[in-house]
Chain A
Amino acid sequence: MIKARNVAFEYNRRDNNNNVVSIERALDGVDFDIKPGEFISIIGHNGSGKSTLAKHLNALITPTEGTVWVDSLDTSDELNTLKIRQTTGMVFQNPDNQIIADVVEEDVAFGPENMGVPTEEIWERVNKSLMTVDMLERRSDSPNHLSGGQKQRVAIAGVLSMRPRCIVLDEPTAMLDPAGRRDVIDAVTKLNKKEGINIILITHYMEEIIHSDRVFVMNKGKIVMEGSPSYIFERAPELEEYGLGLPAVTRIAHILRNGNINIPADVFSPDELVSCILENLRQYGC
């Protein structure tokens, strides 16, 4: 679905007089293959290059070196740009800055309108997309009256209406409260499991990667670790080197496991952890 080979991206850092001071390498030799239907998480601390990588997947920026193929289309070729943007949609961090219209349903229609989809089909797509993210009853509201999580779901619907096969989400929960974050992650997980849409979730919240099939850990423009969430969570010392900490639940499970208490490796949610601990207590006869 998406293939990257030896991708590097450089930009010039300039001083006030517009002279180049230094050349920054935001991405440095990135390789990966993403198969159709996969749920990928990309984590890394600030400045690790994860957002730059995200913009490469939608041809918003093109690599300085190397190549990215989306559906075997080269992103560096401008003729492919529109096709690529229909294949991979993109959701950004700030919900206010990506909603274009004054009415929810008109915003969801913006993508298909640009693609030249006939009017009746736009209506069909808008209805279906809003239904998928559970926002149908707010269709004629102004986005200004919605909460952060709801706005972000509208933004996801706006991408869905373009019928993409892959959605890239660039820190979609960074500006939301915990409830909004949960809503957005649930909506994204549902899209992946039910509709089979490729999800590439960029985040710096460790809790959010637990639903993914594979996790890429980024540091200084490179993918430094790759594997399933449980594989990543087992390598806490290494993660700390890259400025990433384990989520609370995983950390507690680790400590308990080191104290010879039986906690399975795939326990990620607080509820699961609690029932595991209760189970252990029962075995000890408490």
Chain B
Amino acid sequence: MLKEVTIGKYYPAQSVIHKLDPRVKLAGTILFIISLFPYSTAEVYLIASLYLALMIKISRIPVGYMLKGLRPVIILIIFTAVFSLFLTPGIDVVFTIGSVHITRSGLKKAVFMVLRLIYLIMGSSLLTYTTTPNQLTDGIEKALKPLNRIKIPVHEFALMMSLSMRFIPILMEEAEKITKAQSARGADFEQGGFVKKAKNIISIIVPLLVSATKRAGDLALAMDARCYHGGSNRTKLKPLKYSFRDFAGYVIVIFYFALIIASGQVDFIGY
């Protein structure tokens, strides 16, 4: 079931974007998301579209694969479109169906809301498609390192994140095993109403929790045995180091953001 969801999954390919430092990609994604919000003009969205298309092209991720990532949120997109289309009040009515008026501003709002949602998802998937979970946590850890000074345990949080990602498939497999074991003993997970189904899940969750706790204890012991003593004096197998490529990346990201701000100030087409 979860295997079909492509959103947030790493897509291995050889591209400049894949090789970029995760911090550059993080900054780029955050700025791209921010850039979608302040202005709803055609110029801004034209620039954003071109920029996103260019990035997808450079990343060598098939467009079809990018679009597949939108599938889980398609209902949300349709809802947003319908609501903005029919429920925006105004006097600039374009046409009327029965008692429902569709206004010019409603039309405009629907288009921009849909584009904004699609770009949000595509932009952030581009980050996860081109960055392995390990690189991502490494990048977050390094980028947030200054927070250490105000006693926020950044290294520990990053480690927790990567450990939970490592154990997701293991726990999923275990949940499947428990379900099968209980079905074999006559438990029925298929029939009954919502309440009954929810109650049945308890008999899976409890053994799963017990085993997860035991695993956590074992893991802590194993980490202790391998000299783990927190983030101090730690070295890295793959340390993050900026190269020329990464500075160029920052320049492009900042240039894009400046362009958006500048074009947001003027409204040539006059929407």
A residues near B, CB below 8 A? 58, 60, 82, 85-86, 89-90, 92, 94, 96-103, 105-106, 109-119, 122-123, 126, 143-144, 158-159, 162
Q: Is B162 in the interface zone, CB < 8 Å from A?
A: yes
Q: Is B237 in the interface zone, CB < 8 Å from A?
A: yes
In contact, B239 and A100 (Cβ under 8 angstroms): no
In the complex, chain A residues whose CB is within 8 Å of the CB of B219: 97-98, 100
In contact, B234 and A97 (Cβ under 8 angstroms): no
Q: Which of A60, A101, A126, A144 contacts B225 (CB 8 A)?
A: A60
In contact, B225 and A89 (Cβ under 8 angstroms): yes
In the complex, chain A residues whose CB is within 8 Å of the CB of B237: 105-106, 109, 112-113, 119, 122-123, 126
Given A92-B218, A101-B134, also A85-B166 (CB < 8 A):
no
Q: Identify 10 residue pairs between A and B in the complex whose beta-carbon atoms are under 8 Å apart, listed by A's number.
A: A60-B221, A86-B227, A97-B218, A100-B163, A100-B222, A114-B229, A114-B234, A117-B235, A119-B239, A122-B237
In the complex, chain A residues whose CB is within 8 Å of the CB of B235: 112-113, 116-119, 122
B residues near A, CB below 8 A? 132-134, 162-163, 165-166, 169-170, 215, 218-219, 221-229, 233-239
Given A97-B218, A98-B219, A100-B219, also A85-B227 (CB < 8 A):
yes
Question: A92-B222, A100-B226 are known contacts; what are 6 more A-B pairs with Cβ within 8 Å?
Answer: A82-B229, A92-B218, A102-B132, A102-B166, A103-B134, A116-B233
Given A60-B225, A113-B234, A114-B226, also A144-B162 (CB < 8 A):
no
In Å, the complex CA distance between A7 and B218 comes to: 24
Q: Distance in Å from the Cβ of B235 to the closest Cβ of chain A?
A: 5
In the complex, chain A residues whose CB is within 8 Å of the CB of B233: 116
Query: For chain A, what secondary structure do more than half of its interface residues adopt (helix, strand, loop), or is it mixed?
Result: helix
In the complex, chain A residues whose CB is within 8 Å of the CB of B170: 96, 144
B165, B166, B170, B215 pick with most chain A CB within 10 angstroms: B166
In the complex, chain B residues whose CB is within 8 Å of the CB of A99: 166
In contact, A113 and B236 (Cβ under 8 angstroms): yes
In the complex, chain B residues whose CB is within 8 Å of the CB of A159: 226
8 A-B pairs closest in CB distance: A98-B222, A97-B218, A109-B237, A90-B225, A114-B227, A111-B226, A116-B233, A97-B215
In Å, the complex CA distance between A122 and B236 comes to: 8
In Å, the complex CA distance between A109 and B225 comes to: 14
Give the residue name and chain of the B residue nearest to A125 (CB): B237
In the complex, chain B residues whose CB is within 8 Å of the CB of A112: 235, 237
In Å, the complex CA distance between A18 and B132 comes to: 45
Q: Which of B162, B224, B229, B239 contacts A101 (CB 8 A)?
A: B162
In contact, A100 and B223 (Cβ under 8 angstroms): yes
In Å, the complex CA distance between A154 and B158 comes to: 23
Q: Distance in Å from the Cβ of B140 to the closest Cβ of chain A?
A: 15
In the complex, chain B residues whose CB is within 8 Å of the CB of A97: 215, 218-219, 222
In the complex, chain A residues whose CB is within 8 Å of the CB of B215: 94, 96-97
In contact, A162 and B238 (Cβ under 8 angstroms): no
In the complex, chain B residues whose CB is within 8 Å of the CB of A114: 226-229, 234
In Å, the complex CA distance between A170 and B165 comes to: 26
In the complex, chain A residues whose CB is within 8 Å of the CB of B162: 101-102
In the complex, chain A residues whose CB is within 8 Å of the CB of B166: 99-102, 143
In contact, A102 and B218 (Cβ under 8 angstroms): no
In contact, B227 and A162 (Cβ under 8 angstroms): yes
Give the residue name and chain of the B residue nearest to A102 (CB): B166
In Å, the complex CA distance between A162 and B227 comes to: 9
Q: Distance in Å from the Cβ of A261 to the closest Cβ of chain B?
A: 47
In the complex, chain A residues whose CB is within 8 Å of the CB of B224: 60, 85
Give the residue name and chain of the B residue nearest to A94 (CB): B218
In Å, the complex CA distance between A122 and B166 comes to: 22
Give the residue name and chain of the B residue nearest to A82 (CB): B227
In the complex, chain A residues whose CB is within 8 Å of the CB of B229: 82, 114
In Å, the complex CA distance between A230 and B250 comes to: 69
